[in-house]
Amino acid sequence: MIVGAGVSGLSCGIRLLEAGYRAEIWARDLPERTTSSVAAAVWYPYKAYPEDLVVSWSGATYRELMALRADPATGILVRTGYEIFPWAVDEPWWRAAVPGYRRISAAELPAGYVDGYVFDAPVIEMPIYLGYLQRRFEQLGGRISVRTLANLNEALAGHATVVNCSGLGARELAADSSVFPIRGQVVRVAQPGIERFVLDDYGPAGVAYIVPRSSDCILGGTADDGATELAPDMSTAEGIFGRCLALDERLRGATVLEHKVGLRPGRPTVRLERETPADGQAVVHNYGHGGAGITLSWGCADEVARLVAEARPA
């Protein structure tokens, strides 16, 4: 049994079903109402640790997403984009996970920036992708039940093995006080003809990113540790739009379609491990992915399936 119907829970469910296990998901919210649905979802290992494990999990996910893009039902595009910095930087720690990569040229840098990288990455349109994952899970025999749990013992009462993909909910369900929200606000605008994504985490005006999808662009953003307000703040939205406009003039006059907020599940490190709370029982934890839930999803799902198999061979 899996707790959580976001991208992590669905990916784990698919891997377990493919390995021959029965799988049911219990979740407070259906996939389209999870934090995963808000994500701009360009592949990038953002605010997820430790780096050595994250680069392995994100590399595995990169390869899986690149394979899945052949199916238009997944909503996966591949975009070339760049990350820019107002100072000189070394090679990124995640470099080994990305095959299409180079240093940025001076001509490609916006005014005020001095260094950066250019790389190819999957861009995942989450409303489409989550629907694809849910259909794939259910076609393999999985089932999703909407249930609110007070703790993991409720799940263990009827199941020998529980996979905990509860994200921010793990703070209560797993009594893990190290889990904290990272509030992210985005603006969704109509696509004005932008094809390259831009990531700017250190610009003088604050975080800015532009993630172009097929018919819209996601503009971000914020990364406010500890903030829990789910209502969009219009002054914050104005700041996001202004920072992104400074990076790409084509956004001027773009139609604003939607304002969205999500609470990323922060943690000092990703928790991916197996516990044995009682004889014959196993809990596999898979949460604390920060801003990289999609980026780590398949790599972590593969690890979850391995841990489950060690505890309970199919």
Please check if 262 is assigned to a binding site.
no
SS3 for 288?
coil
Please check if 264 is assigned to a binding site.
yes
For 43, left (φ over 0), alpha (ψ -120 to 50), or beta?
beta
Please check if 293 is assigned to a binding site.
yes
Buried b (16+ CB within 10 A) or exposed e, 296-307: bbbbbbbbbbeb
Q: Is the CB of residue 220 less than 8 Å from the CB of residue 40?
A: yes
CA distances from 218 to 94, 145, 251 (A): 23, 30, 11
Please check if 292 is assigned to a binding site.
yes
CA distances from 110 to 20, 75, 106, 245, 291 (A): 51, 30, 9, 12, 25
Please check if 291 is assigned to a binding site.
yes
CA distances from 32 to 132, 226, 243 (A): 11, 24, 28
Buried b (16+ CB within 10 A) or exposed e, 100-131: ebeebeeeebeeebebbbbbebbbbbbebbbb
Please check if 295 is assigned to a binding site.
yes
CA distances from 242 to 86, 212, 221, 232, 271 (A): 18, 17, 11, 16, 36
> What is the torsion angle, in degrees rounded to the nearest 10, for the CA atoms of residue 202, residue 41, residue 297 and residue 225?
40
Pairing of strands 208-212, 161-164: unpaired
Q: Is the CB of residue 285 less than 8 Å from the CB of residue 300?
A: no
Spatial distance between the Cα atoms of 212 and 219, rounded to a whole number of angstroms = 9
Residues annotated in a binding site for FAD: 35-36, 290-295
Binding residues, as ranges, are 35-36, 209, 264, 290-295
Instruction: Mark the binding-site residues for D-dopa, compressed into ranges.
Output: 209, 264, 291
